[in-house]
Amino acid sequence: MKLEPLLLAISLATVPTLAFAQDTMQGMQMGSGPADEGYMKAMQSMMEKTNSMKMTGDADKDFVMMMIPHHQAAIDMAKVELQEGKDPKMKKMAQMIIKAQEKEIAEMKAWQEKHQ
């Protein structure tokens, strides 16, 4: 799997925020719109998946295992933006996020297959 150094650094920086995100989500109040519901559903799904994972003790395997649902949540949130958003720049960014994250998920899954 080939990850660009900047993307790797960004990804590594996000892993420690998962616990913070869970604590923050518990205090968040959902709005009444479909976008709010979609964003919260994406985050809740990611947190449920990551919280139920059993760490292996192998930093590489654990990193990939945790990043896949993290990237999927980004895709799910970007899809909500495409459906509900109004700003053309944000919609373009959402499209770019979907493309990039899907590619990275595929790379991580391929790595996982080789390193079971």
Specify the CATH number for the domain of residue 53: 1.20.1260.10
pLDDT > 60? residue 24 = no
* pLDDT bucket at 75, cuts 50 / 70 / 90: very high
Q: Quote the number of domains for the chain.
A: 1
Of the segments 22-31, 51-60, 80-89, which one has the largest average pLDDT value? 80-89
For residue 31, is pLDDT > 70?
no
Residue 68 lies in a domain: yes
Residue 18 lies in a domain: no
Q: Is residue 101 part of a domain?
A: yes
Sign of CA dihedral 90, 92, 93, 94: positive
What's the Cα-to-Cα distance from 64 to each of 8, 61, 106, rounded to whole Å?
Answer: 11, 5, 11
**109 occurs within a structural domain:** yes
Q: Is residue 22 part of a domain?
A: no
Tokens of 81: 């933006």
The range of the structural domain enclosing residue 109 comes to: 34-114
Is a pLDDT exceeding 60 seen at residue 85? yes
CB 69 within 8 A of CB 49: yes
